[in-house]
């Protein structure tokens, strides 16, 4: 099914001055939502002090990356003004960058937020629109050396869960990635800067999400590190009939299946759980004992 003739990215992900080895074991991306309305932890870490403390805790638990966002992208969420998004994220990034050795990811759809976040110390751009919402975002990505996460989303957060449809969800997402990666290659973006995320919960029904997790292996033909973010998502709630705060076991099951199919970056709220799970699941997948470092 491969339709990318270019050389594969290999086992190292270039994120600014950081070089992350995802071949040995999956990388853990800890989530820091600096928002009042995110679906599972909105308001818990809003504010500079709370945000920094939580980020340090995630790092101490073993996160390889801290993903910081100032705009909720939950279904139905409204766009946040640029000034407000910057007010939420920049003070935390500026204070956090000198304190930790792991890369900081900025979760944003806005090129100006990404630009100022990179200047403040971030080294990854995680765009839930796959670099298609803001026309300046791709130019920013192409002009720098930051790591890039191309996520697939159908529509915008305000409307994405309004009866999403696909001809074939796996093939449609694959073609989308192929298009965006070809675009990146045309702009001379190195493949070793790019990771892909099929966007579980972003313009997908519960059945679509289950299909994605069951068929993650199909995305490996792209030759890029695969990020998955099932943490506390609504499809787990639909299966368990539980609220977001009680979906830890369901998240663990989804993560284990993702790792066994070769997912290399796990975006999670519970870092310690994901770290332990990743070692066991990766050990089973490779039939060998895996160490963290």
Instruction: Please determine, looking at this structure, whether the domain spanning 12-286 carries the CATH number 3.30.70.260.
Output: no
In the predicted model, is pLDDT for residue 71 greater than 70? yes
- 8 within 8 A of 264, measured Cβ to Cβ: no
The mean pLDDT of 137-145, rounded to a whole number, is: 92
Per-residue tokens: 134: 């803001």
Distance CA 243, CA 42 (A): 14
Any idea which of 123-127, 136-140, 207-211 has the lowest mean pLDDT?
136-140
Query: What is the average pLDDT value for the chain, to the nearest integer?
Result: 89
Q: Is the pLDDT reported for residue 196 higher than 60?
A: yes
* pLDDT > 70: percent of the chain: 88
Which of 53-57, 110-114, 129-133, 172-176 comes out lowest in average pLDDT? Answer: 129-133
The mean per-residue pLDDT over the stretch 88-112 comes to: 96
Q: Is the pLDDT of residue 4 over 60?
A: no
Long-range contacts of 215-218 (CB under 8 A, 24+ apart): 215/170, 216/257, 216/258, 216/261, 216/262, 216/263, 217/261, 217/262, 218/1, 218/170, 218/174
**In the structure, what pLDDT confidence band is assigned to residue 291 with cuts at 50, 70 and 90?**
confident
Identify the pLDDT of residue 6. Answer: 39
Give the pLDDT band of residue 281 (cuts 50, 70, 90).
very high
289 pLDDT band, cuts 50/70/90, is: confident
Q: For residue 19, what is the DSSP state?
A: E
Catalytic residues: 233, 267
Query: Average pLDDT in the 20-42 region?
Result: 82
pLDDT of the residue at 3? 38
User: Whole-angstrom Cα distance, residue 148 to residue 192?
Assistant: 9
Which residues are registered as beta bridge partners of 27?
Answer: 265
- Contact call for residues 221 and 261 (beta carbons, < 8 A): no
| Residue 195, token pair as written in the block | 């990771």
In degrees to the nearest 10, what's the CA dihedral of 217, 218, 221, 223?
-50
């Amino acid at each position: 099914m491969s339709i990318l003739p270019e050389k594969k990215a290999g086992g190292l992900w270039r994120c600014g001055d950081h070089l992350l080895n995802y071949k040995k074991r999956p990388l853990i991306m800890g989530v820091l939502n600096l928002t009042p309305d995110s679906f599972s932890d909105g308001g818990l870490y809003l504010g500079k002090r709370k945000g920094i403390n939580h980020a340090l805790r995630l790092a101490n638990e073993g996160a390889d990356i801290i993903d910081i966002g100032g705009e909720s992208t939950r279904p139905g969420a409204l766009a946040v003004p640029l000034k407000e998004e910057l007010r939420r994220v920049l003070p935390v990034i500026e204070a956090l960058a000198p304190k930790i050795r792991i890369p900081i990811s900025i979760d944003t759809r806005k090129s100006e937020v990404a630009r100022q976040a990179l200047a403040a110390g971030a080294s990854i751009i995680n765009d839930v629109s796959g670099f298609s919402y803001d026309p300046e975002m791709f130019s920013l990505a192409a002009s720098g050396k930051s790591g890039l996460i191309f996520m697939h989303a159908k529509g915008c957060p305000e409307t994405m869960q309004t009866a999403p449809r696909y001809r074939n969800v796996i093939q449609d997402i694959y073609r989308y990635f192929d298009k965006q990666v070809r675009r990146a290659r045309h702009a001379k973006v190195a493949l070793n800067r790019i990771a892909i995320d099929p966007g579980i919960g972003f313009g997908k029904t519960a059945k679509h999400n289950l299909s994605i997790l069951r068929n993650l292996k199909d995305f490996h033909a792209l030759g890029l590190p695969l990020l998955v973010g099932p943490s506390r998502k609504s499809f787990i709630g639909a299966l368990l009939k539980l609220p977001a705060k009680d979906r830890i076991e369901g998240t663990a099951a989804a993560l284990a299946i993702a790792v066994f199919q070769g997912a290399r970056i796990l975006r999670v709220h519970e870092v310690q759980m994901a770290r332990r799970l990743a070692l066991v699941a990766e050990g089973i997948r490779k039939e060998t004992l895996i160490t963290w470092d």
